[in-house]
Structure 1
Amino acid sequence: MKRASSFDDAVRRTYVLRGPVEARICRDSHGAAFKRSYVGTFSEIFGVSVRLSPLVWRRRQRVWHAAVAPYGYQVGIFVMARARLAFTARRSPVLGTKGAVASSQSLATHIGARILKRGGNAVDAAVAVAAALAVTEPCSCGLGGDCFMLFYDSSSKIVKGLNGSGRCPAELTLNRAMAETGRGPSETLPNRHPHTVTVPGAAAAWDDAVSKWGSGVLTLSQILDPAARLAEEGFPVGPVTAYHWNEGLAALDGSAGGGELRAPGERRAPRCGEVFRNPGMACTLRELGEGGQHAFYGGRVGRAIVEVLALAGGVLSMDDLAMHESTFPEPISVDYKGVRVFEVPPNGQGITALLALNILAELEQQHTRSPKLHALIWRAQALRLAFSDTRYYCADPDVVDVPVVQLLSREYARELSKLFDPQSACRQLQHGHPAAQSCTVSFQVVDDAGNAVSMVVSNYEGFGTGLVPTGCGFTLQNRGLNFSLDAAHPNCLAPSAHPLPFSLMSNRPYHTIIPCMATVAATGELYATLTNMGRFMQPQGHLQLLCHLLRGVDPQTAVDMPRFCITDIDGGRRVDIEDGTPDEVVESLRRRGHDVRVLSGHSRAQFGRAQIILRDGTSGVLWCGSDGRADGMAIAF
């Protein structure tokens, strides 16, 4: 990395170091501080230990600023008087004590905060935020997609799960899918094909969440009304949203209703700052609010879903919609460095993050006396090892036995950790590799009582199939892309062909959307609620964000830090690195055989968009971070 020309330049270009500092600061006759001698070691944000060159001290408004140049690359830090930790971020964390909301759209965040102030709890506010995001970011989520949720009940200190993913159509057999798409056992369904549409579960999930865990102060209609009015009256489209809306616009070409999500009277996407109205979505939200999920699946919207799919060659029926229901699985969890980390169990991929944390814990224990390695290398290898198993075994537990207990045992993590080579990227692993893209929304809510919600809603790939049920204002997801067409695979589209014992029901595909929550392991108190949307980036983001938080980094700095994403779409050893990561780290990865690609600009979407609310266990203060890679914000009060 090029040396910064000044301290201010260094702060703009780089990120934070932390660690103990030993220095003697002297003053000249005018009281100006200067450095007499220095001894110290910092840990760089990713964990590598470095020896620092002399500091150049300045004093500005009672804040000590330092610019340091370890091993030739520049790092800017802020050192508060007598403080041990030093940070730089693009903006400050948002702090509050009575409640907080963090999402990828500022209007959605405001709506969630208003629901809290009207007496709603975290669940009420979360559903209101989800609906507002469906309006303001239809290129990522909506009522044609699925929803996963974790709920922290402060009264019992228990984390509860909701799986709002839908099943494949009952009439869609493996043979039929392969014959009508021309795909073979080693392939997946075509991206936008109507056979990739599974029953959209978001509507039921929102209704069930409010019925089961809501405050009872507000009805579902009242909770959805702000989003309905937003759709009816219009909203200005944010810059990041405008970009992704335009990028995904071609998906709407195959649907007669695609014009509902284009600029009025034109075939283009709405531009940044342009006010967009979606009367169809407003009508849909009001019908859901007044009649609940049964009105949605069994009424006008359900009929429109079946009709648009039939015209496109799909086979989803009204019976498929009527049979859909949310499930409430007990979350799975592991302990890592004093916190208990929770994820929704399979068919969601949250198990990947937990297995990777177990592997990382083993690596950290085994290599304490090894030469210092960049922590990014450890984390990337832990995730690659975890994905090699979970991409194979993660399937619908109602249909196939998923070995969750075995996968999350420390003994198993210990065996996998033996495959780690500190000097080389992992060899080709058995069960395939994660792919990468980024099209989802996620958000966090904490209320005055200490309840918390982590929720993710998604169409999967942008607008999903791009199919718009007439007059409904949303697209249908293409989640079925994650089914395998291999009859011997646990995640096969046709469960009856699998040699393991199956039920006779339709199955749910491997699911990428995963909320995350962490509690203090010893007490059960809420530690943090977080997400990092972005398909297969999600478990990778969870691991990276948690590692930052557990090193003492505040939530806003944690989401601003450069991220990495292992992709390996072609079965190689690729690691995508975000621009801003030190050149030394990139070269260290390349020397070990990783195929490194540095991404900048809108390509950063690869790394997803994160939202965090962390609770200070002593003061109860809520610390919030909202990702600058999106159009959102955090509010706390």
Structure 2
Amino acid sequence: MRRRTFLASLPASAAMISEAAAQSVAGRYLGIPPGDRITGPAFSTRSVVWGTGGAAATAHPLATLIGIDTLRRGGSAIDAAIAINAALGFLEPVGCGIGGDAYALIWDPETARVTGLNGSGRSPRALSLETVRARAVDGHIPSYGAITVSVPGAVDAWWQAHQRYGRLPWADVLEPVANLCERGAPVPQLIAWYLERAMAGYQRPERNIEEIANAVRVFMTHGPGGGRTPREGEVFANPDLARTYRAIAAGGRDAFYEGELAEHMERYFARIGGWMTRADLAAHRSEWVTPLMSPYRGVEVYQLGPNTQGLSTLQILNICEQFDMAGMGFLSAASLHHQAEAKRLAFEDRARYFADEAFVATPTQWLNSKEYARERAALIRPDRLMERPSFGEAPHQGDTTYFSVADGNGMMVSWIQSNYRGMGSGLVPDGPDGRTLGFMFQNRGELFALRDGHPNIYAPGKRPFHTIIPGFATREGRPWMAFGVMGGGMQPQGQAQIVMNMVDHGLDAQAAGDAPRWQHYGSSEPTGQMAVDAGTLHLESGVPAQTRRELEAIGWRLGPPDGGFGGYQNVVRMDHEDGSFTLGAASESRKDGLALAW
């Protein structure tokens, strides 16, 4: 973040933890000029917000308000999560919507455990590998158009979660959001920028998208006679999406996957030359899954397994646990070097093994083991980069919105939902009356591989590799935080940084997210693309200049801040001696998010 320029000139000592100040969080960051904050790290943008009745942190202020209102009306954390997600599909269409997939990690206070929900959809049964290969560009699936569309999983994820954990009537959860879609809301600065950029991209002729007129009708309604996206502060409404939400409110998940809406989607793809059918939609079901877990210095970190990249977060932490990260110092070159090298190692396994486990078994137990982490950590040298790392040899024997919400009964939800690249495929379905359904289909199918023998190779009815991952952590078996960092390959890197900022460096939930981040590009990918060199390490401008110089001396190629450092939200729980608990919420200072508690 460029606003943190006051950090860039800090001496190296400012990035080290002082033993004399070990009991003072503020004292851990010596050298930061006083005056920014009177308590806590000076670089923190604001305090954690605290409440007892519930908390929510989302990427849009109105979505947070809808979540809090749902809780105050007696809804559970799941009711609030569904309302938030539906609202963000309207308010933040550049990141999510009911044309995409969803995942969740949920702390269930009745069972006192974390459970997972995989709400990702499968590729169309009628779309063959041969057809996909014939449409490939330079050996990879294109980024846009019908070839990239897989079954949207979000609505069924809402339904399954509500059936198990909802307290409000289903229709009562969605009706306020439908009203908001009709009424409209002013567009924030960041959303306006992304929306203009995405719609301009869809209209480029070389993208060869089968149909973009519907997307233009929904998202380019401003200016004289229409023709442009809304600018910052202008009111945007989506009455077509309101109609779709009301149909889902009245008919449940079947209205979307088997009823009239499914018929509209099937006819749309038949008209434009796509492959998804009503049968593909009707066959979709989300899956309740047991999440993966690995301890990190006394904290139990939970992730969803493949077809997601959640295991990469655990692998990065497992490798970093082999080193004294606290002793290396906050934002020191040694710390960032070891973290980035751990990422490079973890992402080679990600590229080699992660895929839909209904089609291929992933050696998750071995990849998540501390023994394997010790082997991988031994490859890291403190004074130089690794040669191009390879994946481990398994022994014989897989754009976005993120939010957190918790209720006063103890349920905590970590939820992530996405249409993937840009706003999605560029395709917005319509009905026979000439009106659209108000949402865009995802393009997650771009993330299949096309190489024979690869676990993630395209197949009909298969779930593609997914980048979106919710995070959850407990301490001594008690819920601690529902957290996430949205943004493609940044997600496991960002999640690991949050955990280390809080566990190793004592930061609170807000400061942990405000702290300058790093992101490494250039690893091998699950699409079959291979790394060619050590890649590029991008640093936010708050990283001290001395740290940058030392990283370059080790051999890192550094990149400038590029705005790709993710979007963070977190809800934390603090237990008290009398058996009560309070809830804190933190939000991303880099985006339009808001954290509230009551």
TM-score bucket of the superposed structures, by smaller chain: 0.7 to 0.9
- CA deviation string 1:275-322 (max 9, x = no partner): 111011001111111111111122332233233333443211111111
Which amino acid letter does the alignment assign opposite residue 256 of structure 1? A
Aligned-residue offset at 1:269: 1.1
The match for 1:497 is none
In 1, the alpha carbon distance for the partners of 2:465 and 2:457 equals 10
In 2, the alpha carbon distance for the partners of 1:223 and 1:295 equals 16
The match for 1:583 is 545
- CA deviation string 1:50-105 (max 9, x = no partner): 799xxxxxxxxxx99999975xxx5558797xx8x644312222111221000000
Q: Closer, same or farther in 2 for the Cα pair 1:176/1:488, shift >3 Å?
A: same
The match for 1:328 is 288
Q: Closer, same or farther in 2 for the Cα pair 1:382/1:274, shift >3 Å?
A: same
Return the match for 1:628 from 585, 589, 598.
589
Asked if 1:615 corresponds to 2:580, the answer is no
**Mapping 1:74-85, distance limit 5 Å:** 75-76=33-34
SS of 2:288's equivalent in the other structure is coil
Which amino acid letter does the alignment assign opposite residue 260 of structure 1? V
In 2, the alpha carbon distance for the partners of 1:330 and 1:65 equals 38
Which amino acid letter does the alignment assign opposite residue 101 of structure 2? D
Aligned-residue offset at 1:172: 1.7
Q: Closer, same or farther in 2 for the Cα pair 1:194/1:431, shift >3 Å?
A: farther
8 Å CA contact retained: 2:421, 2:443 = yes
8 Å CA contact retained: 1:15, 1:77 = no
Unpaired runs of at least 5, structure 2: 204-210, 393-398, 431-435, 524-530
8 Å CA contact retained: 1:252, 1:467 = no
Given the two structures, how large is their TM-score scaled by the length of structure 2?
Answer: 0.88
**Mapping 1:42-441, distance limit 5 Å:** 44=15, 48-49=16-17, 75-76=33-34, 86-179=41-134, 181-183=135-137, 187-215=139-167, 218-253=168-203, 254-258=211-215, 259-264=217-222, 265-364=225-324, 374-430=334-390, 439-441=399-401
In 2, the alpha carbon distance for the partners of 1:582 and 1:95 equals 31
In 2, the alpha carbon distance for the partners of 1:508 and 1:15 equals 43
The match for 1:596 is 558
8 Å CA contact retained: 1:16, 1:86 = no
8 Å CA contact retained: 1:16, 1:76 = no
The match for 2:480 is 527
Q: Closer, same or farther in 2 for the Cα pair 1:263/1:76, shift >3 Å?
A: farther
The match for 1:24 is none
SS of 2:405's equivalent in the other structure is strand
The match for 1:490 is 455
In 2, the alpha carbon distance for the partners of 1:172 and 1:79 equals 57
Unpaired runs of at least 5, structure 1: 3-8, 18-40, 53-62, 433-438, 495-504
Aligned-residue offset at 1:621: 2.5
Q: Closer, same or farther in 2 for the Cα pair 1:366/1:97, shift >3 Å?
A: closer
Q: What is the percentage of aligned positions where both structures have the same residue?
A: 36
Aligned-residue offset at 1:267: 2.1
Which amino acid letter does the alignment assign opposite residue 197 of structure 1? V
In 2, the alpha carbon distance for the partners of 1:316 and 1:65 equals 55
8 Å CA contact retained: 2:333, 2:551 = no
Which amino acid letter does the alignment assign opposite residue 142 of structure 1? G
The match for 2:527 is none
Aligned length: 559
Which one has the bigger strand percentage? 1
Return the match for 1:544 from 479, 483, 497.
497
- CA deviation string 1:542-567 (max 9, x = no partner): 10111112132111111111111111
In 2, the alpha carbon distance for the partners of 1:473 and 1:140 equals 15
In 1, the alpha carbon distance for the partners of 2:498 and 2:233 equals 31
Q: Closer, same or farther in 2 for the Cα pair 1:345/1:43, shift >3 Å?
A: farther
SS of 2:289's equivalent in the other structure is coil
Of stretches 194-203 and 302-311 in structure 1, the one that deviates more from structure 2 is: 302-311
8 Å CA contact retained: 1:87, 1:557 = no
In 1, the alpha carbon distance for the partners of 2:316 and 2:153 equals 28
Which amino acid letter does the alignment assign opposite residue 180 of structure 2? L
Q: Closer, same or farther in 2 for the Cα pair 1:77/1:409, shift >3 Å?
A: farther
Aligned-residue offset at 1:261: 1.7
Asked if 1:564 corresponds to 2:518, the answer is yes
Which amino acid letter does the alignment assign opposite residue 396 of structure 1? D
Given the two structures, how large is their TM-score scaled by the length of structure 1?
Answer: 0.82
Which structure exhibits the higher relative contact order, with contacts defined as CA atoms closer than 8 Å and separated by 6 or more residues? 2
Aligned-residue offset at 1:571: 3.5
Larger radius of gyration: 1
The match for 1:14 is 7
Which amino acid letter does the alignment assign opposite residue 536 of structure 1? G
Q: Closer, same or farther in 2 for the Cα pair 1:76/1:508, shift >3 Å?
A: farther
Which amino acid letter does the alignment assign opposite residue 281 of structure 1? L
